């Protein structure tokens, strides 16, 4: 199958620039950033004049860094590595030492970077990618600011890419926003959420706003409720110390699940530009109904996994995982019921669930439409009709599915539920990618539509605060358990059952 209009305008080439990576020796750089730069290079989407500056705190020669990055590329590239492309990319790499704890090192960084920029003719355009632990984000930005590397001068742009997690609660997110906004303006900040790099997530905008048929029914009059599901088979693995201090809610909800929620629930933007789109997203997040802690407890379920089999893999009890406290009350599963206070969504629940060590990997948004109001077919009582769903599949398949009732062939009217499914891969042959390519490309062309703005981040944290606080106070009271490899705690089903609803089953 082919799309109707296969010929699309070519992508624009980014401006000449220096791509400066703090944390160049780290996992993220090797696993995602370099493979994405490689994929962009393979697609001829890197600037013609370009340099990559890798910052490590302790000395590393450029030659060592290139070898190190090449090893990473071989391990994590999403497609076979062609030597010519890899060499072209690695020739752009220079290592420089800088440590925010040693301010002088940033004066030296400035001097070396400016020389390199002159030699590479990158016109002073700079992108600083903070691929370090979050505690280093503000200190690094402050040093860059102090030596004047972040100041835009009218001709050259300066951008700061900030990784996740952006804060651990509302107060810390606000503090980090304040610290960064003292140094740069909002348009210079690119807060990454890798969910926005996913094709099917971006496609929610196209599905809703490039088609005339969905918007008229995209409201409380036609939609019964929305389910957002992000289920993982992976346990906590080697990330025990990070995860035990974080939990499923903080790790996934204010960022990834709220990105999905805001794209599904936002009002139609008047223009496809960063200001307008991000304003609508922030608006809908700030319309999430504020809950008291008591209400938060009533409208949520949290669980922690016990030992079990996920596929062929035996997972230990969460509490027996390395670096996890033996009496941990941290949730590895969270389900919430939220409502949005506006005319479009009043009375339409948004049920969100996410968890680790579950039986299947599934990320989807399921929009459940209201049932037909009256049972005309006597053979099919209204409550036996199949549910009308529009399902946006993000993982494991990238798809859009419409579920509806149809007549079973035969002399009498009998009905059954069927599914009409659009699979991305049936229409579009995309090269396997990390999901970071679009985001990195957008940083280079200066498009922050797909990045979180300060107000959205804060609105997200604000909406989950009552849950964080209530769960902290409750400790292990009310913390359910579930077997690894199962569907999660039974109480998550009860959260919907008491509203006469149920989670969509895996097809």
Ligand X SMILES: NC(=O)C1=CN([C@@H]2O[C@H](COP(=O)(O)OP(=O)(O)OC[C@H]3O[C@@H](n4cnc5c(N)ncnc54)[C@H](OP(=O)(O)O)[C@@H]3O)[C@@H](O)[C@H]2O)C=CC1
Burial of 347 (0-12, 13-18, 19+ CB in 10 A): exposed
Asked whether position 163 contacts ligand LXAUTJHC by CB under 6 A, the answer is: no
Q: Which does 23 bind (CB under 5 to 8 A by kind): ligand LXAUTJHC, ligand X, none?
A: ligand X
- Nearest to residue 65, comparing CAs of 41, 100, 29? 29
Question: How many CA within 13 A on the CB side of residue 164?
Answer: 16
Bridge partners for 365 per DSSP: 228, 392
Catalytic residue among 30, 221, 256, 480: 256
What does 17 bind: ligand LXAUTJHC, ligand X, none (CB cut-off 5 to 8 Å by kind)? none
Which lies closer to ligand LXAUTJHC via its Cβ, residue 149 or residue 260? 260
Does 256 qualify as catalytic in the annotation? yes
Between the CA of residue 250 and those of 262, 363, 402, 461, 462, what are the distances in Å?
17, 17, 31, 9, 12
Nearer to ligand LXAUTJHC, 16 or 257 (CB): 257
Q: What's the min distance (Å) between Cβ of 25 and ligand X?
A: 4
**DSSP, residue by residue, 246-261:** THHHHHHIIIIIHHHH
Strand order in the sheet with 189-191: 93-97, 50-56, 17-22, 126-130, 158-162, 189-191
Residue 143 CB, shortest distance to ligand X, in Å, is 10
Q: Would you say 42 and 78 are in contact if contact means Cβ atoms under 8 Å apart?
A: no
Distance between CA atoms of residues 223 and 39, nearest Å:
40
Q: Which of ligand X, ligand LXAUTJHC, none does residue 251 bind (CB under 5 to 8 Å by kind)?
A: ligand LXAUTJHC
d(CA 163, CA 143) in angstroms, rounded, equals 18
360: enclosing H helix or E strand = none
Provide the 8-state DSSP code for 11. Answer: P
Whose Cβ is closer to ligand LXAUTJHC: residue 246's or residue 371's? Answer: 246
With b for 16 or more beta-carbon neighbours within 10 A and e for fewer, the 254-287 pattern comes to: bbbbbbbbbbbbbeebeeeebeebbbbbbbbbbb
Which residues, 247 to 266, sit near ligand LXAUTJHC by CB under 6 A?
251
CB of 256 to ligand LXAUTJHC, least distance (A): 6
Q: State which of residues 200, 363, 434, 448 lies at the interface with ligand LXAUTJHC (CB under 6 A).
A: 363
Q: Residue 363 touches which of ligand X, ligand LXAUTJHC, none (CB < 5 to 8 A by kind)?
A: ligand LXAUTJHC
- Please identify, using beta-carbon distances, which residue of 31 and 146 lies nearer to ligand LXAUTJHC: 31
Determine, following the binding rule CB under 6 A, whether residue 364 of this chain makes contact with ligand LXAUTJHC: no
Note whether 232 binds ligand LXAUTJHC by CB under 6 A.
Answer: yes
Write out the two tokens for 400. Answer: 């859009």
CA distances (Å), origin 41, targets 36, 140, 184, 395: 8, 28, 29, 26
Residue 19, Cα to own-chain centre: how many angstroms? 22
Binding-site residues sit at 57, 164, 194, 198, 232, 251, 356, 361
Instruction: Spell out, one character per residue from 11 to 50, where the chain touches ligand LXAUTJHC: x when CB under 6 A holds, - when not.
Output: ----------------------------------------
DSSP per residue over 99-143, as a string?
BTTBTHHHHHHHHHHHHHHHHHT-TT-EEEEE-S-GGGHHHHHHH
Q: What's the closest the beta carbon of residue 240 comes to ligand LXAUTJHC, in angstroms?
A: 12
Rounded distance between C-alpha atoms, residue 330 and residue 307, angstroms: 16
Chain contacts with ligand X (rule: CB under 6 A): 22-23, 25-28, 31, 56-57, 100, 131-134, 136, 163-165, 194
Stretch that binds ligand LXAUTJHC, among 114-122, 227-235, 406-414, 438-446 (CB under 6 A): 227-235
133 binding partner (options ligand LXAUTJHC, ligand X, none; Cβ < 5 to 8 Å by kind): ligand X
Q: Considering only 1-9, 28-36, 229-237, 484-492, which stretch makes contact with ligand LXAUTJHC by CB under 6 A?
A: 229-237
Are 191 and 160 in contact by the 8 Å Cβ rule? The answer is: no
Q: Among residues 230 and 265, whose Cβ is nearest to ligand LXAUTJHC?
A: 230
Q: Catalytic site residues?
A: 256
For ligand LXAUTJHC, the binding residues (CB under 6 A) are 230, 232, 234, 251, 363
């Amino acid at each position: 199958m082919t799309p109707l209009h296969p010929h699309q305008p070519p992508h624009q080439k980014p401006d000449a620039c220096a791509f400066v990576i703090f944390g160049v020796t780290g996992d993220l750089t090797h696993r995602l950033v370099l493979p994405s730069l490689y994929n962009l290079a393979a697609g001829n989407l890197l600037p013609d004049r370009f340099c990559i500056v890798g910052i490590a705190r302790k000395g590393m020669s450029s030659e060592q860094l290139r070898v190190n990055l090449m090893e990473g590329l071989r391990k994590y590239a999403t497609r076979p590595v062609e030597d010519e492309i890899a060499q072209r990319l690695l020739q752009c790499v220079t290592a420089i030492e800088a440590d925010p704890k040693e301010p002088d090192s940033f004066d030296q960084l400035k001097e070396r970077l400016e020389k390199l920029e002159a030699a590479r003719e990158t016109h002073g355009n700079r992108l600083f990618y903070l691929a370090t632990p979050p505690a280093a984000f503000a200190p690094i930005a402050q040093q860059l600011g102090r030596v004047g590397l972040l100041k835009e001068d009218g001709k050259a742009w300066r951008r700061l890419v900030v990784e996740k997690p952006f804060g651990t609660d509302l107060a810390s997110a606000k503090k980090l926003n304040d610290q960064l906004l003292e140094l740069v303006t909002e348009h210079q900040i690119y807060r990454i959420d890798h969910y926005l790099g996913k094709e099917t997530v971006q496609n929610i905008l196209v599905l809703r706003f490039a088609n005339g048929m969905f918007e008229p029914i995209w409201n409380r009059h036609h939609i019964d409720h929305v389910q957002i599901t992000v289920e993982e088979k992976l346990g906590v693995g080697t990330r025990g110390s990070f995860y035990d201090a974080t939990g499923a809610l903080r790790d996934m909800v204010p960022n990834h699940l709220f990105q999905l929620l805001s794209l599904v629930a936002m009002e139609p933007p008047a223009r496809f530009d960063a200001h307008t789109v991000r304003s609508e997203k922030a608006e809908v997040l700030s319309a999430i109904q504020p809950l008291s802690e008591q209400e938060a407890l009533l409208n949520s379920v949290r669980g922690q996994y016990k030992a079990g089999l996920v596929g062929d893999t035996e997972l230990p009890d969460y509490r027996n995982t390395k670096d996890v406290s033996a009496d941990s009350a941290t949730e590895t599963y969270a389900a919430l019921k939220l409502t949005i206070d506006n005319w479009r969504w009043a009375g339409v629940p948004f049920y969100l669930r996410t968890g680790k060590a579950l039986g299947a990997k599934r990320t989807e948004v399921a929009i459940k439409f209201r049932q037909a109001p009256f049972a005309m077919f006597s053979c099919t009582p209204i409550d036996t009709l199949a549910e009308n769903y529009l399902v946006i599949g993000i993982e494991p398949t990238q798809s859009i599915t419409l579920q509806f009732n149809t007549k079973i062939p035969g002399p009498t009217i009998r009905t059954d539920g069927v599914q009409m499914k659009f699979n991305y891969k049936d229409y579009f042959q995309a090269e396997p990618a990390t999901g970071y390519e679009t985001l990195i490309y957008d940083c280079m062309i200066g498009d922050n539509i797909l990045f979180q703005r300060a107000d959205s981040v804060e609105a997200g944290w604000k909406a989950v605060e009552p849950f964080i606080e209530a769960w902290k106070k409750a400790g292990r009271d009310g913390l359910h358990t579930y077997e690894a490899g199962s569907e999660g705690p039974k109480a998550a089903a009860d959260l919907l059952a008491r509203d006469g609803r149920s989670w969509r089953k895996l097809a």
